[in-house]
A and B are shown apart, each in its own frame.
Chain A
């Protein structure tokens, strides 16, 4: 059921990207999609009653292996979140330049390259 809720969140982001006219709203839609994808990957790696993949001194390796959640999606999502921040900065920069050029955030007003 949780997977379905996560998928609904992704669809809301897709709706924002496709239907909105404001550039900032489109950026926010992409950002929501990124949240849902990252969350979905972490949800896939969860183990029931799992512990974080951090080993303490008094813990045995076999017991740790039986209880820990999946560390690989966590490492990949850590990379993905930071990359998302860089991409967001780039998108916001493009939006600011478009505002300086056209004086509005409305994408239907930007017709210089329309062909």
Chain B
């Protein structure tokens, strides 16, 4: 049952992304990507990941604001013609090769509904689920993983976020500092 619901939502996501990539107007393209992210959040909710669903919704709104900042008051001329023939052919060859290797890799995955930690007794998720409440005192195992077991990972995430925002601010600065002058 849940597979059918997720499949339908994924088909909607695929349709939305095709519309987003193929529409002429840039503003429409940006607005067309927002439902894709919302469907993604609904699928997270169905898959038992409410934390990620909340994060996805917030990130979706923020990304819409950022992307509209890129296109508002710009000259929204449509770029119609595609790349030259050789580039197009090589691109489709690349996508085809990627498709073949991906299909080959998909055959070796465990079937949907059996996560890999149930097949492997030494996987770290077993310990997180069994001992998480006792060791960290958090009922939500996801927050006990990101804030306690893998706290350095979250520190690295904060570092990357800080660095990227710093880079964005450095690039957006209007007046470059003049060398040798005060």
Partners in one complex: yes
If A19-B91, A61-B130, A89-B66 touch, whether A83 touches B36 (CB-CB below 8 Å) is no
A94 with B67: CB separation less than 8 A = no
How far apart sit A74 and B145, CA to CA, in the bound complex (Å)?
9
Within 8 A of B (CB), among A5-35: 5-16, 18-22, 24-25, 27-29, 31-32, 35
We find that the number of chain A residues with CB closer than 8 angstroms to chain B is: 81
**A110 is an interface residue with CB less than 8 A from chain B:** no
Q: Mark B35-54, 1 if CB is under 8 A from A, else 0.
A: 01100100110011111100
Chain A residues whose CB sits within 8 angstroms of the CB of B180 once the complex forms: none
How far apart sit A48 and B118, CA to CA, in the bound complex (Å)?
12
How far apart sit A99 and B69, CA to CA, in the bound complex (Å)?
12
Across the two chains, which residue of chain A brings its CB closest to B84? Answer: A108
Q: Which of A16, A19, A75, A85 contacts B142 (CB 8 A)?
A: A75
A92 with B117: CB separation less than 8 A = no
Whole-angstrom distance from the CB of A62 to the nearest CB of chain B? 8
Chain A residues whose CB sits within 8 angstroms of the CB of B63 once the complex forms: 31, 85, 88
A81 with B59: CB separation less than 8 A = yes
B128 with A72: CB separation less than 8 A = yes
Q: Mark B129-147, 1 if CB is under 8 A from A, else 0.
A: 1101100000111100110
A to B CB contacts below 8 Å, 10 in the list: A45-B115, A68-B129, A75-B142, A75-B145, A78-B142, A84-B59, A85-B161, A90-B164, A92-B67, A93-B171
Residues on A lying within 8 angstroms of B by beta carbon are 1-16, 18-22, 24-25, 27-29, 31-32, 35, 38-39, 42-48, 50-56, 61, 64-65, 68-72, 74-79, 81-90, 92-97, 99, 103-106, 108
Apart from A21-B81, A92-B69, A93-B171, what are 20 other A-B pairs with CB-CB below 8 Å?
A: A10-B102, A11-B98, A12-B14, A19-B91, A22-B79, A25-B29, A28-B67, A44-B109, A50-B48, A65-B126, A69-B48, A71-B145, A72-B124, A72-B145, A77-B52, A79-B146, A82-B157, A85-B66, A94-B171, A105-B26
